[in-house]
Structure 1
Amino acid sequence: MPSTDFLWWRDGVIYQIYPRSFADSNGDGLGDLPGITARLDYLADLGIDAIWLSPIFPSPDVDFGYDVADYLAIDPRFGSLEDFDRFVAEAHRRGIRVILDLVLNHTSDQHPWFQESRKSRDNPYADWYLWRDPRPGGGPPNNWASVFGGKGWEYEPQRGQYYFHMFYKEQPDLNWRHPTVREALLDVFRFWLERGVDGFRLDVFNVYFKHPDFPDNPPRLGLRAFDRQQHIYDIDQPEMFPLLREIRQILDAYPERYAVGETFLSTPQKAARYCAPGLLHATFDFTFLHSPWRPERFLRAIQDWEQALGDDSWPTYVLNNHDNPRAATRYGRGEDDARLKVAATLLLTLRGTPFMYYGEEIGMRDIRVSRSEIKDPIGKRYWPFYKGRDGCRSPMQWDDSPHAGFTLGHPWLPVHPNYRHRNVEAQRRDAHSLLNYYRSLLRLRKENSALRRGLFQPLTFEPRRLLAYLRQDEHQTILVALNFSSRPVRLAMGRTLSAFRWRPLISTRDEPLMPRDGFLTLRGDEAVILEREA
């Protein structure tokens, strides 16, 4: 039963698109905005409520868009501002909201701000970045390290100073303490809000501020230089909280606008601190995403997240994104999608906002790339110990035509070889496909208020193979049971639940085995959703 107070970011499902890999309209091998616009009917039919676009701003692509050279423009490879306005209008016409990815901790070193800042110590942009003199006797100002390897400081001969970069040296960190920088970055929110954008995903937002005195971080045990520090002074500074309140005030001046933050070096408790009332609407904690295929680990992640957030904040859940191997690669067995249907049922029946990643709904697997094919600089640096993030960023598989219908040209990354049978068109025609199961789940979630807003009550407290829980509100009680093993399992219903009459809402099998003699039996790799009859 649909509720009358549906709020898109709370009750809906958000779909992340990696723009260069979704749909190419002009044959240059790179996805673009017109290509996404042409596929909006597919997304509307799928049943998602909002699109999160990974960065589409001009960028030299040292970190594939996460090194921004202009916050107020569209990279010509993706289209124009007019193409963006058309995309937003067409998405809104279909009831789909638009979320932009904002990377405000750092810019590209090609951004005009940095190009001016590096010239001298006395120009208008001189203090827009984190510049420090060398230590007495020479060398970097402190021991801070870069996430991507090596020291976090790069020497600039023109100024005779070092600048700090939490990520690549081509991504200098901005000085959020400078009032003019702060206002320029807040104006970025206003610019895109005025163009009709509905929300923002804030990349590594809790890194914006560093300690003003730049002290050394204390040591700890770890493999890499970055891991051998306690990150006390380079992230999570107290100045974040007044800034988040200011960002929230900007968003609240527009109807139903939203911000979700990627919490860097997250824990549930840390992520929860930043989405209290008056701060961000939501944050990401990736404990759930990083859980192995064990029901007790997923349950622990859910309960820790719920406990950290309390009653005043709203959870988010994600199984895939642009930085991690796909769930189909982590959890799947060959080309079998049975486990992926169980994972989809889990993601879309929890209390919180689910985030999907393009191609998740058809079970796209990571591509394999040889060393010569690697595009991701992290993979190039750490090969063969880490092969980078290219695997989860391959082109969307639309059909069985050359390059999976993604492009008429040569795709920027290889298409997975399984595209001839694993594609949207093939799964659309198959009633039992993963795609059609996702469509059914998304429809079910939208039609049943308990799945969107109801309480989460686990029924299995130390699950080994089975995870089961109730979703309850004042209108209905729904039971979700998930078998994480390939063998049958039984859920003891107990006296109270056994006394109820239940009707099936969905199963990954043709027909679920209904409760009998106090037990609900699930076959191997089966997910079942039942509703209590009135």
Structure 2
Amino acid sequence: MRYKPTFTSIRDPLTAHARPVPAFLRSAVMYQIFLRPFTPEGSLTAATELLPHVASLGVDIVYLCPVMLADDDPRQEYWSGRQRRSGLNNPRNPYRVKDFFTVDPEYGSAEDLRRFVDEVHRLGMRVIFDLVYFHCGPTAVFLEEQPDFVLRDEHGAMRIGKWCFPEMNLANPAVREYFYRNMAFFLRDYDVDGFRCDVADMLPVDFWEEGYRRCRAIKPECIMMCEGLRGDDQHEAFDLTYGFYTQWAIRDMLRGKSDAREIKTAWDQEQLDYPRGFHWMRCFDNHDFAMDTSMHGGRYEASCGKEICDAMLALIFTLNGLPMIYNGQEVADNAPHSIYANREHGRLFINWSRAVTQAGKDRLELLRKLTAFRHRLPALFDAPLRWLDSSAPEQVFAFARTLPDGEVFLAVNIAGETAETAWDATLKPREIIAAGAGVEWPTAADGRLRLRLPPHGFVIGSCLSQ
């Protein structure tokens, strides 16, 4: 099956329920910062100077990609396949950690990281760090004294996992305690507000559940976000999970591999595979997708165009869950991207000059409307969703979200030509939240209302009573 969980859940998803989340998450918007492309310096100090810009978008949570010391082992048998294929010859992969407690000098110092967190908080936002616990670097600092911290074969050699890195041995209680100390260290020494957990479903769920309990004892509103697809993860361990089903559907629609019906297919399968009230983080670009599209056809903004990317942003802000902006999307960044590129290798940075172009100005305006929309209507986090019939189903998808005071809706034309569909007259909007240029509601000869969307057009409308 195209859409399926990574691991089978022990609970029936049709009867199990995800635990509640802290109230502030219901209206929150997240912003991912990957330091290497974020500024030409690629440093915490330079990123700190841009935080007022991030706050101006209406962002509530900053997700900071790994800044702990990366392993610089040059042996390519310990490099991931993407790292080798990048051609950048940079041994330092941020997701191959050498020391989980030390800030990588590439980004700055421990004090620089504290200043970054302090500035996030001063601006009224929260910040989460990236935890990479499934594997480590081949010269990790603990390996000499603690060889049993990693899995080993019958000959005593390190077991090398999916990404060509040594796999951590979570069956060893000492490894679990080591990582629990690491979480507590970040919460206490850096005042971080939570964690994004890399390939979290590759680790035992009970490890994360105990980690969550310990983190909440230190910081009661600690945020835990899972990169993975396991239904049991939100019974106790996590607040949010990556919405990969819809992210994959968006990718295939943008690449012309699927038509507009794909998004409903993905969403419907989510309802079957995951517990009631499951909480999703929604995005369509991030560090992985930006790199993969750069290597295969070009970034979405460059290869697919700004208008359809506008529509996909409207989609992730209108779906259930929490929306995330990837750094640079707010200026319609179209520059090539790689997590292995930095100021010494490749020099691939966000094209911030796009901010002064009309495309960049329009995108900034759109995102500020969308963040205000989410702040105004926190019920969008989990309000019921109903799909609307489309008389042009291959080109147009549409759905409505049912709120206490009425409904809001989204309609999107993924096609490169104008599309028209029948429209329910009860959904004639009282307010347009956001829309592409040229959206119209003509009346057909039979007197019925229709919706006409320009190429790659979208509209978010409100039918709320107030």
Matches of 2:38 and 2:248, distance apart in 1: 25
Q: Letter of the aligned partner of 2:39 in structure 1?
A: A
Q: Call closer, same or farther: CA 1:168–1:301 in 2, change over 3 Å.
A: closer
Deviations 1:98-141 (A, max 9, x none): 1111111122222221133xxxxxxxx2322212323xxxxxxx
The answer to whether the Cα contact below 8 Å between 2:71 and 2:137 also exists between their aligned partners in 1 is yes
The answer to whether the Cα contact below 8 Å between 1:15 and 1:50 also exists between their aligned partners in 2 is yes
The answer to whether the Cα contact below 8 Å between 2:26 and 2:378 also exists between their aligned partners in 1 is no
Name the structure 2 match of 1:89: 118
Deviations 1:353-378 (A, max 9, x none): 122211122222352xxxxxxxxxxx
Q: Letter of the aligned partner of 2:346 in structure 1?
A: L
Deviation, 1:427, is 5.0
Name the structure 2 match of 1:278: 236
| 1:345 paired to 2:366 | no
Alignment of 1:151-190 (within 5 A): 161-167=156-162, 169=164, 171-190=165-184
Q: Call closer, same or farther: CA 1:33–1:332 in 2, change over 3 Å.
A: closer
| 1:527 paired to 2:454 | no
Name the structure 2 match of 1:502: 430
Deviations 1:321-378 (A, max 9, x none): 22223599465565841111111111111111122211122222352xxxxxxxxxxx
Name the structure 1 match of 2:410: 480
Matches of 1:478 and 1:469, distance apart in 2: 9
Deviation, 1:419, is 4.3
Name the structure 2 match of 1:457: 386
Q: Point out 4+ residue stretches in structure 1 off by more than 4 angstroms.
A: 330-335, 390-395
Matches of 1:490 and 1:411, distance apart in 2: 50
Q: Call closer, same or farther: CA 1:180–1:336 in 2, change over 3 Å.
A: closer
Alignment of 1:45-84 (within 5 A): 45-61=56-72, 62=91, 64-84=93-113
| 1:364 paired to 2:333 | yes
TM superposition score normalised by structure 2: 0.80
Alignment of 1:8-47 (within 5 A): 8-24=24-40, 30-47=41-58
Deviation, 1:271, is 2.6
Matches of 1:33 and 1:336, distance apart in 2: 31
Larger RCO: Structure 1 or Structure 2 (Cα < 8 Å, ≥ 6 residues apart)?
Answer: 2
Q: Call closer, same or farther: CA 1:33–1:501 in 2, change over 3 Å.
A: closer
Name the structure 2 match of 1:300: 265
Alignment of 1:329-478 (within 5 A): 329=298, 331-332=300-301, 336-367=305-336, 390-391=337-338, 412-415=345-348, 419=351, 423-427=354-358, 430=361, 433-460=362-389, 463-478=393-408
Q: Call closer, same or farther: CA 1:335–1:472 in 2, change over 3 Å.
A: closer
Once superposed, what is the RMSD of the aligned Cα atoms?
Answer: 2.8
Name the structure 1 match of 2:211: 247
Deviation, 1:8, is 3.8
Matched length:
409
Matches of 1:478 and 1:168, distance apart in 2: 43
**SS state at 1:109 partner:** coil
Matches of 1:528 and 1:501, distance apart in 2: 10
Matches of 2:58 and 2:200, distance apart in 1: 29
Name the structure 1 match of 2:152: 131
Report sequence identity in percent: 24
Deviation, 1:285, is 4.5
Deviation, 1:6, is 8.1
Q: Letter of the aligned partner of 1:14 in structure 2?
A: M
The answer to whether the Cα contact below 8 Å between 2:30 and 2:59 also exists between their aligned partners in 1 is yes
Name the structure 1 match of 2:16: none
Deviation, 1:80, is 1.4
Q: Call closer, same or farther: CA 1:425–1:331 in 2, change over 3 Å.
A: closer
Name the structure 2 match of 1:100: 129
Gaps of 5+ in 1: 25-29, 117-124, 135-160, 209-239, 264-269, 368-389, 396-409
Matches of 1:243 and 1:183, distance apart in 2: 10
> Higher helix proportion, which one?
2
Q: Letter of the aligned partner of 1:280 in structure 2?
A: F
**SS state at 1:365 partner:** coil
Deviation, 1:483, is 1.0
Deviation, 1:391, is 4.4
Deviations 1:191-247 (A, max 9, x none): 111121111111112323xxxxxxxxxxxxxxxxxxxxxxxxxxxxxxx23222211
